[in-house]
Structure 1
Amino acid sequence: MKKLGLILLIMVVSLVLSLNTTVASATDKQNNDTALSEEDMNSILKEKGYNESDINSASLDTKKKLVESGEKAEYEVEMVETYTSLDGNTYEVTEENEDKINKLRQNDLDSMSVNQSKMFSTSCVGLGCGFEGGKSDGTWSANTFVSKGRTLSNEYEYTFMTDFNWSSNVVANFTDTIATAWERDFTAVANTEGGYHYYIAPYGMEVMPVPNLESDIYGLKAKFNIAGQKDAGGISQTLRVPKSSTGTTSSLVGAYAHPYSPVEIGFSIGPASITNKEFWGDKWTWRVNVTIGE
């Protein structure tokens, strides 16, 4: 009898395990079936108010976050590029002087024997081609997205996502730095900061950790060890602003630094400001003017 009881117990346990496996498999299949394709996400983002240029410039990681967020906030983006030469002079890059700055940059690189594949041109070849809310400079592009969040009793919530993308290999690959700062009327929501980093290698996508994600009372910054491949990354944070600011414009400031030597750029963050010590390389800064309200 004891032996028969043991056999029955083993049969019952086996049946339970089999049922659990079947349920788990069905659940996994259901999750896979309901996963959104990129085309689905693009359609949802259009409904949320993002235009085609926004969608084209967003990474897949950012699209997933935007789909989970609210509608697109009302905002405009203004961007400036500067180049600091080997002799310590800083130049603002414009359409009028772009060719001249490109030659100066290349001369500096040649004099230091730096093999640099990232050449800038007025033709757009990056993810950001044609988008209005950011900047594409040859193989580099960046953008900041702002989505509406919850409406609380006395505050509005917004989430920003600041992206960068290299559409081709970067040979002068050291440590790049990205940051976003906000004005005093914004308050960061604790534990909502985030970041991502990946690159496209010959064998596929390689997900990288985001080192040194640093929160500040007025901003968020991160340092990325550029892999030298087709790198992409970004940072994000949820902010709150009082309803008393309804109808006014408040700013976020973004910055991205790409050095041509193995130095780490120390961004200092203040209210809607990002400063740094002089370094040899490229820097982009942009201001995102957000109209506060529902």
Structure 2
Amino acid sequence: MTFDIDTLATILRDAAKAEVMPRFRRLDEGDIREKTSAIDLVTEADESAERFIKAACSGAFPDALFVGEESVAADPALLRKIGDADLSIIVDPIDGTANFAMGVPLFGVMAAVVSKGQTIGGIIYDPLGDDFMIAERGAGSFLVRPNGERQRLQVAAPAPVEELFGVASSSFLPREERRQLLQRMAEIRVFANYRTAAHEYRLAASGHVHFQFYLKLMPWDHLAGSLLIEEAGGYVRKLDGSPYLPTDVDGGLLTAPDAATWKAVRELVGPEITA
């Protein structure tokens, strides 16, 4: 089944311009709702953008299974269909919803393309910069500027542990494990959390961050970015060292420039953290 990733990229951009950016810093109190916690939010913009993307994809890719973050909230069974579908489009209409809702200009629109259980395409769109990072399996990762100019992406060169820059989401850990993790991460140079995987993956794919560490694996958060990292020359594995698959929803994830750096960071994370 053929697939045009540039068409999907255009759909994401159109959705952001029509449904996301007009609502940025203009949300009413009733437009923001909690899902599981005060930092796990959904807004009217998320839902409207997903409806826009789903409708456009049904026209452009009528045979594809559409799996959106908000769609799965309504129908969890959609997740189980990704592994067997000939073609799936997995979408996060706004990654970094908490930032978006608070007026912080750091959020993105993401989509991954999966064919028969393998991720074959990934897009991370920055609505404020109006540019994309796009990867296709076997074809490399690229920054696509608003004028269409393409720049090949490359992950950072390996570095000693004390020189590493890393990002992680540790909020899902129990308090004592989180405390121990943060103490161990004092060994590296910079350890941060931008509250948006979209921009963390963009930083890593363009060589500005050495590693990423995540515990919660939902496909709309990580499929596009993990392919960007791999196609930019990086190394992506679950915490047990196994490959990350589109059907995985647990097991933790760690990205790095190479296998040796991955192993060094995995030791810092600690054997007790297995997700």
User: Could you say which TM-score interval applies, normalised by the shorter chain?
Assistant: under 0.3
Instruction: Determine which structure has greater relative contact order: mean sequence separation of CA pairs < 8 Å that are 6+ residues apart, divided by chain length.
Output: 1
Per the normalisation by structure 2, the TM-score is 0.27
The structure with the greater share of residues assigned to strand is 1
